[in-house]
Structure 1
Amino acid sequence: MFYEPSSASWRVGAESPYRVPVQYAMGEMTQTLRARGQDPVMALWGPKDGAWQRIDASAATEAAPAPAPEPPPASPAQPSKLIERLTDRRHQVLLAALNRAGLYDLAPDDEAAVRAVVDQLDETTVRRVAHWLALAAD
């Protein structure tokens, strides 16, 4: 939860039964608030010994992965739907950049190359490549 001084209230920043998405959301929200010149105040709650307890948020954000972490491999505890959604999002970003660069009709070999890039790179890197393509198109 993030504290909003303007309304003197707490706002839910992320809610998930899995730790990685919550840590990622906390890191992103912290960066956003700092970019706006605000000092983020947050509270992190999680289960411990069958009850909800407040967790030190600063330790959780320090332990969080880099700005755009690659999701962990699918396991019974982590649904593959999240991994699929993140892969689809990277694919969409790259295709949009290629379209902006003037490549609308991709051949099967091109599609295979796009899929290879999407499968090998994290979202931040794919967005950087897309940015380069957009700059080249201008």
Structure 2
Amino acid sequence: MQTRPESPRPQGAPRWVAMFHRPATQTWRAAAESPHRSPVLHALGEMTQTLRARGEEVTCALWGPKDGEWHRFDTPLKQASRSQPSPQASAAEPTKLAQRMTGRRHQVLMSGLSRAGLYDLSPEDEATVQALVERLDEAAVRRVAHWLAAAGAR
């Protein structure tokens, strides 16, 4: 059983910090810092998605203040297998505009999920996002993303 490397506590006064592990050098790096939790979670989500898209393993830690002291908070990283984007369902080649609009809807949904704190998606979650992207128009996708962002702000 592989164990997760232990993240060192960030230096300085307690604030929200996202730390990422670099396997090649066996080091930890602060990727985002803020006195507020939301921007750090958003950055954590974006960085996780980027690393996974590159095919890299993601190990991260979220540190923040609790009772005036440093506290390591759990991150919902799952050991899910990496999935490749699913091919288009239709046999016809989509137009460039259709591809771009599908990409925009996907980006809007992923941003909403990230703001809600759901940044590490399982293959089932990815399939659900793709289904929403294919079935909803841009206005509906933006509304869903708004709901997710509002839920994450609470």
Larger radius of gyration: 1
TM-score, L = length of structure 1:
0.43
TM-score (norm 2): 0.39
Higher relative strand content: 2
